[in-house]
């Protein structure tokens, strides 16, 4: 957590007015894919903890957690991206992000913070209608790896969390 905070500070100093995609990204994995989230959006990384299920919610909503007295919705990113369900293990992490309000995502494993300059970021490829590439800001290249940089605001806010009763049946 401290490392993250430090990184955030450094980032603000370095880039300042630069509004291109080049930035520091917290990278994490879902299965064999690696994703990145703008470090400025990240508030906290915590280990998996008890999650209270909330009825009438969309399938990707895992429930709510108590973050020091705040009740925060948790989204299972695997479910959100329609990847198959995987049992939580020691490496499963909850990343708390600020998308206007605090929300949390469940990821398989948190990797590291990568500094990805804008020249190393390529636009998201068009993969047809199969993948919703609108949620991806771009593809970041770090060495030989390619990381999908997520537009976390869109990932978490474009879809309703609550299944309205009308649509359910």
Partner 1 sequence: MSDKQTTSCKTADLISKLEEAVGSVDKDHLSVLAKMHGWCEALVGLTGPDGEQPSAEQCERARSTGSLLESVILGEAENPEEVIASIAKTIASLAGGDAGGGNAVAVDDEAPAGASSKSCSQVEADLANIFEEEPVAQEDSTSLPPEVTGQTEDVAQGDTGIAPETSRPSATAAGHSYESEPLKIDASEIEFVQAFTEEADEHLESIEAAVLGVEQAPEDTEKINDLFRPFHTIKGMAGFLNLRDIGSLTHEVETLIDQARKGDRKVTPGLIDLIFEVVDILKTQIGAITAYTQDPTGDEIPQPPISKMVTKLREVVAGGDEPQGVNPPAGGSGAKVGENLVEQRSVPKEVVDFALERQENDKPDKKTGEILVDMKAATPKQVSQAIRAQKEPSKEPPASSKSAGDQSVRIDTAKLDALVDMVGELVIAQTQVGADSSVLSEEKLNKNVNQVTKIVRDVQEVAMAMRMIPIGATFQKMARLVRDVSRKAGKKVDLVISGEETELDKNVIQQIGDPLVHMVRNAVDHGVESPEERAAAGKPEGGTVHLSAFHHGGNIVIEIRDDGKGLDRDKLIAKGIERGIVKPGEELTDEQAYGLVFAAGFSTATKVTAISGRGVGMDVVKRNIEQLRGRVDITSELGKGSVFSIRLPLTLAIIDGMIVRVGKERFIIQTVTLEQSLRPQPEQITTVQHRGEVLNVRGRLIPLIQLGSLFGLTDRVDPCEAMVVIAQYEGGPVGLVVEELLGQQQVVIKSLGKRFEKLRGISGAAILGDGKIGLIIELSGLVGAHHNHPTEIIRQKKNMDLGDGDSGTSDTRDETVAGKTADRNGVAGNDPAVEEPLLA
Q: Who contacts 123 (Cβ-Cβ below 8 Å, separation ≥6)? A: 138, 139
List the one residue from 53, 129, 143, 144 that touches partner 1 (CB under 8 A): 53
List the one residue from 85, 128, 129, 143 that touches partner 1 (CB under 8 A): 85
Give dist(CA 102, CA 110) in Å, integer: 19
Residue 71 in contact with partner 1, rule: CB under 8 A: yes
- Run of H or E residues at 46: strand 42-47
Q: What is each CA distance from 147 to 2, 29, 70, 78, in whole angstroms?
A: 23, 9, 31, 16
Tokens standing for residue 138: 């771009």
List the one residue from 15, 22, 40, 57 that touches partner 1 (CB under 8 A): 57
In the complex, minimum distance from the CB of residue 160 to partner 1, in angstroms, rounded to a whole number: 8
x/- mask, partner 1, residues 137-166, rule CB under 8 A, reads -----------------------xxxxxx-
Give dist(CA 25, CA 41) in Å, integer: 9
Q: Which is nearer to partner 1, 35 or 60 (CB)?
A: 60
Residue 90 in contact with partner 1, rule: CB under 8 A: yes
List the one residue from 46, 82, 117, 132 that touches partner 1 (CB under 8 A): 82
Return left, alpha or beta for 70; rule: phi > 0 is left, psi -120 to 50 is alpha, else beta.
beta
Any idea what the Cα angle at residue 8 is, between residues 159 and 69, rounded to 5°?
A: 60
In the complex, minimum distance from the CB of residue 99 to partner 1, in angstroms, rounded to a whole number: 10
List the one residue from 73, 94, 95, 108 that touches partner 1 (CB under 8 A): 73
Residue 54 in contact with partner 1, rule: CB under 8 A: yes
Long-range contacts of 130-135 (CB under 8 A, 24+ apart): none
- State the residues that interact with partner 1 by CB under 8 A: 48-60, 64-66, 68-73, 79, 82, 84-85, 87-90, 92, 101, 103, 160-165, 168-169
């Amino acid at each position: 957590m401290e490392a993250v905070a430090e990184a955030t500070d450094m980032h603000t100093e370095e880039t300042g007015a630069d509004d291109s995609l080049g930035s520091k990204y917290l990278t994490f994995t879902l299965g064999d894919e690696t994703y990145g989230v703008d470090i400025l959006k990240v508030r906290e990384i915590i280990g998996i903890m008890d999650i209270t299920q909330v009825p009438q919610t969309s399938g990707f909503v895992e429930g709510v957690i108590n973050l020091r007295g705040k009740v925060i919705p948790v989204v299972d990113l695997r479910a959100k991206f329609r990847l198959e369900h995987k049992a939580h293990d020691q490496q499963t992490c909850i990343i708390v992000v600020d998308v206007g309000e605090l929300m949390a995502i469940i990821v398989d494993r948190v990797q590291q913070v990568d500094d990805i300059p804008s020249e190393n970021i390529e636009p998201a490829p068009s993969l047809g209608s199969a993948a919703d590439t609108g949620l991806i800001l771009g593809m970041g290249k770090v060495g030989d790896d390619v990381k999908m940089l997520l537009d976390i605001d869109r990932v978490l806010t474009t879809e309703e969390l609550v299944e309205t009763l009308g649509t359910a049946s």
